Structure formats: structure tokens, C-alpha cells
Amino acid sequence: MGEYEHRERALVIGGGIAGLVAAWRLQQAGVEVEVLEARDRVGGRLWTASEYGPFPVELGAEFIHGDRVITWRFLERYGLRALDDPSQDRRYVGMKGRVFPSEDLSRPLGEGIFAPLARASEAWFAAGKPDTDLATALRWWPQEEGIDLTPQLWELWRTLASIGWSADLEEIGVYGDVEATYEGDGWRNWRIVEGQQALAERLAAELGTSVRLGCAVERIDWSEDSVCVVTTEGARRGDWAIVALPLGVLQSGAVEFVPGLPAELAEAIQRLSPGYSMKIVVEFTEDPWTPEIGCLFVTTPHGIWERPGLGFAAPEPVFSLLVGGSDARRLSAMGEEDAIREVVQALGAVLGQDLVGRIRQGRVVDWGRDPWCRGGYSFVPPGASGLRARFSEVVGGRLVFAGEHTSVERPSTVHGAIESGLRAAEQILEFRAAVTLGS
Ligand SMILES: Cc1cc2nc3c(=O)[nH]c(=O)nc-3n(C[C@H](O)[C@H](O)[C@H](O)COP(=O)(O)OP(=O)(O)OC[C@H]3O[C@@H](n4cnc5c(N)ncnc54)[C@H](O)[C@@H]3O)c2cc1C
């Protein structure tokens, strides 16, 4: 009695899915946690609009990619439901005033629509060629395979890079692409019926008062003894910090580390890329396309139109466009109204209709300009393979990093971010166990 008992305390910086999962795991293990989140909501890149109708409109992450990924464990825990996305069985391409099934382009290659991009990287890597960009590998690979590289195929691949990497083919590194295997995940896409953000909210509800919203971190002072985090709401002290900030935020220097991070980690932060992505949601006065189209890959801009209400009871004519890379940057520079007009005009040109007069409302979600994201989802440029792994090193026994960009095998996904949060929590628990044993 009366003896001072030190309860370990971890500060989790960033209340996206990676930070929340890390905090949840630590809390379960009896570590006191506090999540410091800049926004007035949790979830980060999990952000759902529910005002469009009786279905979720995802402003950030849309799908669970795969039926065997870790996300399902949390869906089960919280009783959340999933919908096998019907659009993936009715994928169309809209190009130069023509709409046709995506299989017309992918069937001659014998595999799924994304497969050639992976095949080209793997073949380049296996041939022992030096790291290069995906555009180079994709020009070389069809020659090796005797495939006719048509302009349509090339444009489709640009679209897949834009949505799959939030980047252009010329920016993506082949070796980095080979690192990310997504092995065993499965290939079907699922929507969370209650919306992706519900996942984050359920976790936050379990964490209760340990989650601080509107609390932007400005500086992280760390030493071998403790961590002090300076926020807009005052300073916080802890034994450890889990830094679950997006790569774009780390790269921007908006959060200062004192002392600076080790050179190897600082190099990884600067040389990996946060990507750039944008969602544009448009509600039309009536359906712009016929029911056989599930989703539509387009090339002006390079992106994909989805119908979020597809598979739900009463789908309103609400559509969303995901664009990445240079097309997203260009649209971002145009301003919201012009960007909406341009993409709707381009959609109309593909479908042979004037759709601009049929816009009921539109909205741009510009993740690259969002100060708490500053990107899209991360990718590895040429020459930067191996750098993601550097985030798994515990810095000075006090700082641990989490987030989608820290996942080597499943980056750029919700499930990769979840795994990174669990990994970060385990690192702290292992560290704690080692110290307890040693003392
Ligand atoms: C448009 C888009 C579509 C996507 N589609 C899919 C998809 O279909 N399927 C899929 O699996 N993945 C998808 N992703 C990727 C997925 O959303 C991310 O991989 C994942 O959500 C990242 O989680 P995170 O916790 O690492 O980062 P974040 O969710 O970005 O969390 C980081 C948190 O840190 C906070 N923060 C930032 N700065 C500060 C600060 N200074 N102080 C305190 N807090 C701060 C942020 O507000 C945020 O809450 C998509 C992403 C985007 C942008």
C-alpha cells in the first residue's frame, strides 16, 4: 500500500484504423493508452457518407479486398455485415465513345484484369533486370509473351495504375511491386454494409475516453526513458508512442521529431511515395448507365466509376469516381466545380449522353490536399524497394511505427494497416516483457 505503481502508458498518434487497432490491442493487454487524433472523427482514410441513401458512400477506402484478410475478424467481433460487390462481375471499360466488357481486353491475356501488371513485374524481376518503373516493364513484357500491346490495353493499364497505386505507371517501381504479394488474401471485393467508418467507430467505442479528437500532434520529443508528445491540446507523456500517421504527413515535416529520426528511417520516409488520390461523388437526376454495367473503367481521367448503392435495396443514382496519380493532381488544381464538370462531361462522352445538365449534386474529396493525409495510398518508386521494412524497427526502444505504408506485403490497404497496428502493439508488448524479465 502507498507504493508507487507505474502503469505503462502508450500514446498512439493518429486515430486511423492502424492506430485504433494498435491501441485496442494494447488496452486488451493492460497497457494504458491514449489515441491522439487531429480530426473531429476517427477512421482517417475510412470515411463514409450516409446521407445519399440507404447505403454507404465511401469517401475513402471502398472495399475489403479478399475473403481471407484480417478485416473479417473485426467485422465478426462487431457484428458488421459485408456485401459481395456485384460490380466486380460486370466490369466495363469506357473509352473513346465506346463501352465494352473489360474481358474483351483481359480475356486474350488469360487472367484477371490486374494480372498483367503483376506478371510484368514478376517477369522483369525474375529475369534479373535492374529495378525500373512499371511502364518500362509493361512495354517489355508483351514482347516476351508475344502479346499485341494495343493502345486500348495500354490506356487500361494506366487506369489500373491510377486506382491500384494512386500513381502513374512511370512512377511505380517494379521491385517494390514484387514485394507486395497480398498472398492468400483472395480476390473478391466486399463492401461493409454499415460503411468502412463503422469499423473505426466500433473500435473507438471500445477504447472509450482514451480517444482524443481534435488533438493535432505537432512535436514528438523522445529519449531512451520516455516520450513527450506536444499537441494543440497540450503535452502528453508516455512510455512509448505508436506513430500511426500517414506517410504524406510524415514526409511533409508537419510533425517534428526531437531528436530527429535515425537516418535510415528518415530516408525511407522521403523516398517512398504517399501517392495521390481523389474521390468525386456525383448524384444525378437519373441513371446515366444501364443496369448491366456494374462499374466502369475510364481513361479521361484514368479512373473507375462505381455505383455505391449497387446490391442495396433502393440504389439512388449516386456514383463515385476514384482517380489517382497525375490525373488526380490535375483535377485538384482545377477546383471543385470545374473538376466535377470535367469528369461528368467525360463520362457523358463515353456513354453518348449530355450528363452535365443531370447533376443534382457533386462533391470532391481530395486526399492529396487533405492536411491530415497528404496523399492517397503509398507506393514504392523505382530504387526504393526494401524501405518499407525500416518502419518495423523500434526507435530508441520508445517509438514504433504503424500504418498502411509500413506493411511490406499488404501495403495500401485497410487490412495491411490493421496488421501493422497489431504488429506495432506486439512490439511494445515484447519490449515490455523483455524489460520485466530483465529487471
Ligand atoms: C480514395 C481511397 C480509396 C481507398 N480504397 C481502398 C479500398 O478499397 N480497400 C482498401 O483496403 N484500402 C483502400 N484504401 C487505402 C486505405 O484507406 C488505407 O490503407 C488505410 O485506411 C490507412 O490506414 P492508416 O491508419 O494507415 O492511415 P489513416 O487512415 O490515414 O490514419 C492516420 C490518422 O492520422 C491522423 N493524423 C494525421 N496527422 C495528424 C497529426 N498531426 N496529429 C494527430 N493525428 C493526425 C489522420 O487524421 C488519420 O486519422 C483507399 C484509400 C483512399 C484514400
Average pLDDT over residues 125-135: 98
Give residue 7's pLDDT.
Answer: 75
Atom of ligand 1 nearest to the CA of 412: 19
236 within ligand 1 shell (Cβ under 6 A): no
Give, using CA atoms, the residue closest to atom 49 of ligand 1: 44
pLDDT at residue 438, rounded to an integer: 66
Of the candidates 261, 236, 242, the residue with the CA atom closest to the CA atom of residue 400: 242
- Ligand 1 centre and the CA of 391: distance in Å? 17
Q: How far apart are CA 415 and CA 435, in angstroms?
A: 30
Architecture of domain 9-44+194-271+383-438: 3-Layer(bba) Sandwich (3.50)
List the residue whose alpha carbon is closest to atom 12 of ligand 1.
413
Question: Is pLDDT at 361 greater than 90 in this prediction?
Answer: yes
Per-residue pLDDT band for 5 (boundaries 50, 70, 90) equals low
On the question of pLDDT at 168 being above 70, the answer is yes
CA–centroid distance, residue 46 to ligand 1 (Å)? 6
CA–CA separation, 325 vs 376, rounded Å? 9
Contact 306, 191 (CB under 8 A): no
Determine contact, residues 318/53, Cβ cutoff 8 Å: yes
Which atom of ligand 1 lies at the shortest distance from residue 415's CA? Answer: 11
To test the pocket of ligand 1, the residue of 207, 377, 378 to mutate (highest count of ligand atoms within 8 Å of its CB) is 377
Give 268's contacts (C-beta < 8 A, 6+ positions apart).
384, 387, 388, 390, 391
Cell of 108: 486474350
What grid cell was written down for 391?
A: 518502419
**pLDDT band of 431, cuts 50, 70, 90:** confident
CATH 3.90.660.10 for domain 86-187+277-366: yes
Q: Is the C-beta atom of 244 inside 6 A of ligand 1?
A: yes
pTM above 0.95, yes or no: yes
Q: Yes or no: say if 164 and 114 are a contact pair by the CB < 8 Å rule.
A: yes
pLDDT at res. 32 = 97
What are residue 83's DSSP bridge partners?
Answer: 191
| Per-residue pLDDT tens digits for 281-337 | 999 999 999 999 999 999 999 999 999 999 998 778 999 999 999 999 999 999 999
Going by alpha carbons, the residue nearest to atom 7 of ligand 1 is 61
Yes or no: say if 410 and 8 are a contact pair by the CB < 8 Å rule.
no
How far, in Å, from the CA of 86 to the mean position of ligand 1? 25
User: Best of 20, 24, 45, 187 to mutate for ligand 1, by most ligand atoms within 8 A of CB?
Assistant: 45
Task: Check residue 106 and give its pLDDT.
Answer: 86
CA of 151 relative to ligand 1 center, distance in Å: 34
pLDDT value at 252 more than 80: yes
List CB contacts of 212: < 8 A, sequence separation 6 or more: 34, 35, 36, 37, 231, 233
Residues with Cβ < 8 Å from 15, sequence gap 6 or more? 35, 36, 37, 39, 42, 43, 44, 200, 204, 211, 213, 244
Rounded to whole angstroms, the Cα distance separating 94 from 78 reads 39
Q: What is the pLDDT of residue 1?
A: 38
**62/182 Cα distance (integer angstroms):** 17
How far apart are alpha carbons 105 and 372 in whole angstroms?
38
pLDDT at res. 437 = 66
Domain ranges of the chain: 9-44+194-271+383-438, 86-187+277-366
Q: Has residue 4 got a pLDDT over 80?
A: no
The greatest distance separating any two alpha carbons of the chain, rounded to the nearest whole angstrom, comes to 80
- Integer-rounded Cα radius of gyration of the chain: 22
The pLDDT of residue 110 is 77
The amino acid at residue 274 is P
| Residue 107 pLDDT exceeds 90 | no
pLDDT, tens only, 184-233: 999 999 999 999 999 999 999 999 999 999 999 999 999 999 999 999 99
